[in-house]
Chain A
Amino acid sequence: MEEVRYVLFDTNWPEITRFADEVSALVIDIGASSLRAGYAGDDTPKSIIPTTYGYIPTAPDSDAPMGDGATTEEASSSNNTVGGRKYAQIFLGQNGPSMWRPGMEIGNPLVDGLIQDFNPISPLIKNALEDIMRVNPSEHPVLVTEPTWNTPANRERMAEIMFEEFNVPAFYIANTGVLNAFASGKGSALVIDIGQSMASVTPVVDGFVLRKGLAYTPLPRFIHAISRNLLVNPTANRPGIELWPHQLIATKTPVDIGQQPIFTVRQDRIAQTTQSWRLWAESKEVDEWIQTVAAVSDQGWNDQLMARTMPKQYEFPSGYASNFGAERYQVGEHLFLTNNTNPNQPKTIPALVTESLRACDPELRQVLMGNIVLTGGGSLFHGLAERLNAEMLRTFPHTKIHAPGNPIERRYGGWLGGSILASLGTFHQLWISKEEWEEHGKAIVGQRCK
């Protein structure tokens, strides 16, 4: 087969293309909120799908799936019997979990940033590569990312999936901390990665993670829980907010700010809505509120200052709207402020940084603090970079924070680093080829991907 391509010059990264040798590799970055996949050498992933998936469990008595083709035309629907757990139907992609379906449960394969359930992983990857990107994975080397605290068993399982199920010619698994440092153009960095469920601080030296210096906590989940409490519980100024998702609201009438919402709920759907879907939909509302409204004060908490800040208006799907003033900052403050009264609070970002640095060689601390990389979708709090800078300067006078201004770069930094790495000419000797996989087995993953 002879293919002819008119090459367009990629002017985005001229200094990188000098060392680049494109082998049409694919990069897959699986995070708690989304799965990113695309060609190595691109600056944005081609397909971004939620990692969360919807499924309808098989009835215990009948395993004949009843296809409702109308609702699954966008999502990949397939009989999935991998690993013994049977889904009658699985709904993936942008219209997967977010579309209401009677009796649909919601699942997420990741727990604390690690893949706990590998059953939906292959359908997710298949959906991203074959249904959205329309590529044949058996023709492309594939680079997959992993968090620093990934287990050897997990990465070997991933290699197995890629080689055995997708039949890829070559595979590599790279660390997100390293890739985030690469995405910022640094070989050595202190990567502060705030995702949807986990916040981690990873020291990277010469392209290697210092595992002893890794510090991570489920801080974003804690922030999420705090926000949810804040919204649901009534305050002196407003009643508790009912987090009805759009999908369950039949009609609503516009009301003034702060007034009780007037809306009707789709009673026909309520009965068939599963608990997991309801939980997922409500947490999505909370997340959207956080993303729209929440912020971090520049210089630290100050009651008078907070009272004077501009409130921000936000309207919930039920039609209820309110102005959020100090509450906006209250949420972000938990990233920095240790609350001694709450024993469940995870370590704050400065505490994580201190913990990470303490485990590093004293000589390295200066270097790392001069190369802080702030990344991850959870770091997009308004004012977070400035506040972090102010906090760090207090203890380390030579702090320099690199926080990409472009939200795409911030959210998909791991993917971007993988895209850079897998397009380098010098990287191609590191791929684990199918031949090597068959010869050495699982051990090759640990040997090659240090």
Chain B
Amino acid sequence: MAASAADIRSALQLPESSSAAGPSQPKRQGTTATRKPEGISRELYSLIGPSQPLLAAQLAKPRFKQKPKFASAGSSATKWELRPFHNSARKDGLKLKHWAKASEDPDAGELQISEYPFAKYNVENPHHVFSQDEYTRYLEETPWTKELTDYLFELYREFDGRWYIIWDRAEFPPECHFDIDDLKDRYYGVCRKLIRNRPWPHDEASKAQLLNSLSFDKDREKMRKRYLVNLESRTPEQLAEEEALYIEIRRLEQTERRFKREREELMRTLAGLDSGLPDMIEDDGAPLGITPEVRGKKRKGVPGDAESPVTPSAVSSISSPVKKVAARDAAYDALHCIIRTGDGSGTTKAAHPPAFLRSAKIPWLKNNSIQGKIVQSFTEMGLSPSRLVMPTKENVAQLESLIEAVTAMVETKKHLDKVEYDIQVLKKQLDPQSGDDSMGEGIIKTEDPMEVDDVGGEIDGNDGRAQSVLSGRTSMCSHDTLQTQRSMSISSVDTNATSLSTRVNTKRQKRG
């Protein structure tokens, strides 16, 4: 920003010129239009301009706490006066005096009679009364007379239903031997009878509710108090024994829990992840205060489970269909597209999988020697073994079976290669004359007619080589027989994965 003539003048402390230069005239108008804020020098303001409100606010004078306004500060002090008031909770005409602001309501002395602020706290609980007629009709009870009952009701009213006080102050004839529960029983019993036998102006529900609030079980109360007394009158020896027993039971519980856990772990190791103890009840031991060390152990177990081969668990969860879900649940689930994977019993740990992403259930390959070959064959198919665009339950299952099939195929091929090599070597030994020309080729052509395995199925290997895939219905366990029969066909595809296997077939065929 260029300095105006006025700025130079003020900086040099020159007197203001009456006839200002042409260019400075509009600028001055500009500065007067936006007023310089308080607490900032004019020079600085012209430098930073009007666009710095924050800075200007900071530069403003600090504001201190406001001084209290005393009477000396101009206005006179608030006037208070000793004013008599009447408490409407009082039945007599006692006029007490309290201090009140004279300015507030100078002529409200009479008004205050009705609005003493503390009179509203004078509330009386509702209480029951009965007539002589009602007493003779409904309320006769052996140890009680009308006088005693009246006296009890009077006490109840006087002490606002504070039973401890009522019992303390009550002076019944000594032959009655009433204790506090007898008094309560009598009072509530009379109230219940009165309500039952009188016409009830409101609805039945409110009557039942009221009766419910007046219910009193004397025997139960007496038993409860007996328990309380017993609890209090325990000797130190009894207390010590109780404590010892408590510690003992805690120890036993912990031992049992540990035993169960160990047994379950053992079962899992022996029979697979899925076979937890069915009676292993979910119990984190919180009420009895299981030691944190045990908890840590438990938590450590979880990643261990994740590291263990997932395939069987996934297979189990997938292959176990919704059959165990109850019929109504099935209908509900179908309606809301809910798919349940657990077996629904919910009480055992093994059968209670937590929420998971389906993509987490995609099987991954075992890191072994043939992994590379599996991946290779997958890439040949144009697929990825670790990724599914839509990992639905069916897709995951199919991918899984595909991986299994490919694994079996690769393994069989490896085996086949070895056997073929052996055959070649043996043949060479047997027939040294023809060895030279066959050795040059490296891969021999099997002259023998291909043996079709006993299960049968169409043979797809037109060249009879290892690449040939048999889409038969042979099971995995027939491998050994196949191998011994030197069969070149690979049959491993599950019935579930027929579509995939056909795709594989077509690919192979194309390649072939």
Interface: B108 (CB within 8 A)? no
Among B82, B89, B119, which residue has its beta carbon within 8 angstroms of that of A3? B82
The chain B residues found within 8 Å of chain A, CB to CB, are 71, 77, 79-82, 87, 89-90, 92-94, 96-99, 117-119, 121-122, 158-159, 162, 164-165, 167-169, 180, 225, 228-229, 232
- Are A210 and B77 in contact, CB atoms less than 8 angstroms apart? no
User: Can you list the 9 inter-chain pairs with the closest CB atoms, starting with the nearest?
Assistant: A425-B118, A433-B94, A429-B89, A23-B96, A208-B165, A210-B168, A362-B228, A426-B118, A426-B121
Interface residues of A in 205-227 (CB under 8 A from B): 205-206, 208-213
Give 19 A-B contacts (CB < 8 Å), ordered by A residue.
A2-B81, A4-B79, A5-B99, A21-B117, A21-B118, A205-B164, A205-B165, A208-B162, A211-B168, A424-B118, A429-B87, A431-B90, A431-B94, A431-B96, A433-B92, A433-B93, A434-B94, A435-B94, A436-B92
Which residue from B77, B90, B97, B117 sits with its C-beta under 8 Å from A23? B97
Which A residues are closer than 8 A to B by beta carbons?
Answer: 2-7, 19, 21-24, 141, 169-170, 205-206, 208-213, 360-365, 424-426, 428-429, 431, 433-436, 439, 450
Given contacts A4-B79, A435-B93, contact A450 B232 (CB under 8 A): no
Chain B residues lying within 8 Å of A433, measured Cβ to Cβ, are 90, 92-94
The complex places the Cα of A434 from the Cα of B117 at a distance, in Å, of 23
User: Which residue of A is nearest B97, CB measured?
Assistant: A23
Q: Are B77 and A6 in contact (CB under 8 A)?
A: yes
Contacts of A2 in B (CB 8 A): 81
* Chain B, residue nearest A434 (CB): B94
Q: A22-B99, A211-B168, A361-B167 are in contact. Are A429 and B80 (CB under 8 A)?
A: no
Selected contact of B162 from candidates A206, A362, A428, A436, CB within 8 Å: A206
Question: Whose C-beta in chain B lies nearest to the C-beta of A428?
Answer: B87
Q: Name A170's contact: one of B89, B96, B98, B180 (CB within 8 Å).
A: B96
Contact, CB under 8 Å: A21 / B98: yes
Does B168 contact A212, Cβ atoms closer than 8 Å?
Answer: yes
Complex: A361 Cα to B97 Cα, angstroms:
42
Which residues of A have CB within 8 Å of B228? 362-363
- The reply to whether B165 and A206 contact each other, CB–CB distance below 8 Å, is yes
B90 touches A429 (CB 8 A): yes
Give the distance to chain A from B455, nearest Cβ to Cβ, in Å.
80
A363 to B99, CA, bound (A): 44
Please tell me if the beta carbons of B79 and A428 are within 8 angstroms of each other in the complex: no
Q: Are B80 and A7 in contact (CB-based, < 8 A)?
A: yes
A360 to B94, CA, bound (A): 38
What are the residues of chain A within 8 A of B117 when measuring CB–CB? 21, 425
Q: How far is the CB of B239 from chain A (nearest CB, A)?
A: 9
Instruction: Compute how far the CA of A209 lies from the CA of B165 in the bound complex, rounded to whole angstroms.
Output: 8
Give the Cβ gap from B172 to chain A, nearest Cβ, in Å. 13
Q: Which residues of A contact B225 (CB under 8 A)?
A: 361-363
A391 to B158: give the CA distance in the assembly, Å. Answer: 38
CA distance A55 to B351 in the complex (A): 96
Cβ contacts under 8 Å, A211 to chain B: 168-169
Q: Which residues of A contact B168 (CB under 8 A)?
A: 208-213
In the bound complex, residues from chain B placing their C-beta under 8 Å from that of A435 are: 92-94
**Closest CB-CB distance, B182 to chain A, in whole Å?**
13
B119–A429 CB distance below 8 A: yes
Closest to B167 in A: A361
Most A CB within 10 A of own CB, among B99, B119, B167, B225 = B99
Contact B81 A4 (CB under 8 A): yes
Supposing A4-B81, A208-B159 touch, asked if A364 and B164 sit within 8 A by C-beta, the answer is yes
Chain A min CB distance to B499 (Å):
74
Contacts of B71 in A (CB 8 A): 6
How long is the Cα–Cα vector from A5 to B92 in the complex, in angstroms? 29
Interchain CB contact under 8 A, A428 and B165: no
In the docked arrangement, what's the CA distance between A435 and B93, Å? 8
Nearest neighbor of A22 in chain B, beta-carbon distance: B98
Contacts of B82 in A (CB 8 A): 3, 24
Closest chain-A Cβ to B225's Cβ sits at a distance in Å of: 5
Smallest Cβ distance from B85 to chain A, in angstroms?
Answer: 9
In the assembled complex, which residues on chain A have CB atoms less than 8 Å from the CB atom of B165?
205-206, 208, 210
- Specify which chain A residues have a CB less than 8 angstroms from the CB of B99 in the assembled complex: 5, 7, 22
